Amino acid sequence: MQIQVNTDSNIERNDGLIRHVETVVQGALSHFKGQVTRVEVHLSDTNGPKAGAADNRCLMEVRLQGYQPIAVTEHAPSLHQSIQGAADKLKRSVDSALGRLGANAKARPVLADEAAVDDDE
């Protein structure tokens, strides 16, 4: 799983931050790691140097093999809270999307040609 971390000009991009993001994302998506090709993480501080109630923003976009990207956003008072919140949302979104896709595949009706093949075996 490739994890790409992007920051705006108000957030210092350093090795510690990148390791933290990678750890949180890998923990949240470990169940899906065979299906995830890439995760893009965008961190920003919407108020810059001024303090705000929920001015730290984390946008995460996951790319799954053969599916459209899924993106979530979390705003929080601290950068770490926004990262964890976005990772939790992303896990739920991927689980929901893949669950729906799996349910649709299971609910797919068997075509007459497929039934005939199964009976011959």
Q: Could you tell me the residue ranges of all domains in the chain? A: 2-120
User: Hey, what CATH class is 2-120 in?
Assistant: alpha beta
Per this entry, what is the length of the chain?
Answer: 121
pTM higher than 0.75? yes
Contact 41, 7 (CB under 8 A): no
The residue type at 87: A
Which residue in 118, 43, 28, 116 sits closest to 73, CA to CA? Answer: 43
Q: What is the block-wise mean pLDDT of the chain (121 residues), using blocks of 10 residues?
A: 94 95 96 92 83 84 92 95 97 88 47 47 48
The residue type at 9: S
Phi, psi of 96 (to 5 degrees): -65, -45
Which residue in 81, 91, 63, 79 sits closest to 12, CA to CA? Answer: 79
